[in-house]
Amino acid sequence: MISWDKDFKIYNFKSKYGPWALVAGASEGLGAAYAEALAKRGLDLILIARRQEKLDELSKKLINEYSIAIKCLALDLSDIAHVIEVLSQIDLPIGLLIYNAAYAPIGDFDTIPSDDLAKVVDVNIKAPLLLAKFVSKKMIENKRGGIVLMSSLAGSQGSPKLVTYAASKAFNAILAEGLWSELKEHGVDVIASIAGAIVTPGYQQAQNAKKAPGTLTPDQVAEKTLKALGKKPTIIPGFTNKLARFFMGRLIPRKWAISIMKQNTESLS
């Protein structure tokens, strides 16, 4: 049976954010979940990640299930100048950017190599900043479009053993809030998804398969974020995570919040 309401929502989403969506960090986990959620909504996809085989595997699955067009680009997002050069050459009309890629070296600050610290800036800050600049130019001209930047609850306060990752995620949340205000007058929606723990391959490896309270699946985070796009500047997926953000950010002293984070991150490896 055809659902008029469902079909109308899909048409509405595609007309606002299509025809092409760019998903950066799309090979697996949350990026792959975003790709599938957008494929369900009928958008054609540009998928960026370093591993070609993972992109090809995901692309084949989505094309078979949703009959969409997909362009896979095996690129390193730490070299954002090259990424933008490639995107300029293929010249596809991008109506939605999902920036999901992140680099998160784990350990004490004094033990992390300087090159790894620089990569955090390149992947987590410089790349989303310049990609947002690149795609928003056409969006402003077209008076429509959307940008989703992934942040994290870790960025709500200092997070020992994740200090640079947490700081970069704070940057993305504030960037998205400012862009939400500036770009909405041009018809462009921006949102920061401030996620808690997500069951991704990287998270499971770091946590040794232990789940934190409020842990969500990639599909849950992707759907909740996309449904909030155009409604508000930030979304915290999951009720438990909303409570945690309120408690850590408003009810207790800052130094206590950092101490709690330290207890939660000590097991990371």
Contacts 24+ apart (CB under 8 A), 255-263: 257/156, 257/157, 258/157, 258/158, 258/159, 258/160, 261/154, 261/157, 261/158, 261/159, 261/160, 262/159, 262/160, 262/161
Active site residue 126: no
pLDDT at residue 247 greater than cutoff 80: no
CB 29 within 8 A of CB 52: no
pLDDT at residue 207 greater than cutoff 60: no
- The DSSP code for 65 is H
State the Rg of the chain over Cα: 18
Return the pLDDT at 257.
77
pLDDT at residue 7 greater than cutoff 80: no
Question: Mean pLDDT, to the nearest integer, of 51-71?
Answer: 97
The contacts of residue 2 (CB under 8 Å, 6+ apart) are: none
pLDDT band at 8 (very low <50, low <70, confident <90, very high): low
The domain that holds 123 is classified in CATH as 3.40.50.720
Q: Which domain holds residue 87?
A: 4-265
Pairwise CA distance, residues 115 & 120, whole Å: 9
pLDDT band at 4 (very low <50, low <70, confident <90, very high): very low
pLDDT digits over 115-168, tens only?
999 999 999 999 999 999 999 999 999 999 999 999 999 989 889 999 999 999
pLDDT at residue 106 greater than cutoff 90: yes
pLDDT at residue 188 greater than cutoff 70: yes
pLDDT band at 2 (very low <50, low <70, confident <90, very high): very low
Residue 147 in tokens? 């940008």
Mean pLDDT of all residues belonging to the chain = 91
Active site residue 165: yes
- Of 68-82, 212-226, 255-269, the one with minimum mean pLDDT is 255-269
Pairwise CA distance, residues 129 & 106, whole Å: 23
Return the pLDDT at 229.
98
Question: Mean pLDDT, to the nearest integer, of 30-43?
Answer: 97
pLDDT band at 209 (very low <50, low <70, confident <90, very high): very low
Return the pLDDT at 262.
82
pLDDT band at 6 (very low <50, low <70, confident <90, very high): low
Return the pLDDT at 5.
54
CB 122 within 8 A of CB 143: no
Which single residue is written with the structure tokens 């429509």? 144
> Can you say whether residue 71 is alpha, beta or left, with left for phi > 0 and alpha for psi between -120 and 50 degrees?
beta
Which single residue is written with the structure tokens 């915290």? 236
Burial 4-31 (b: 16+ CB within 10 A, else e): eeeeeeeeebbebbbbbbbbbbbbbbbb
Pairwise CA distance, residues 199 & 188, whole Å: 30
Q: Which of 17, 34, 169, 203 is catalytic?
A: 169
Return the pLDDT at 1.
46
**What domain count does the chain have?**
1
pLDDT at residue 241 greater than cutoff 90: no
pLDDT band at 249 (very low <50, low <70, confident <90, very high): confident
Q: Which of 14, 165, 211, 262 is catalytic?
A: 165
Return the pLDDT at 226.
98
pLDDT at residue 208 greater than cutoff 70: no
Total-model pTM = 0.90
Q: Which of 83, 82, 79, 25 is nearest to 55 (CA)?
A: 25
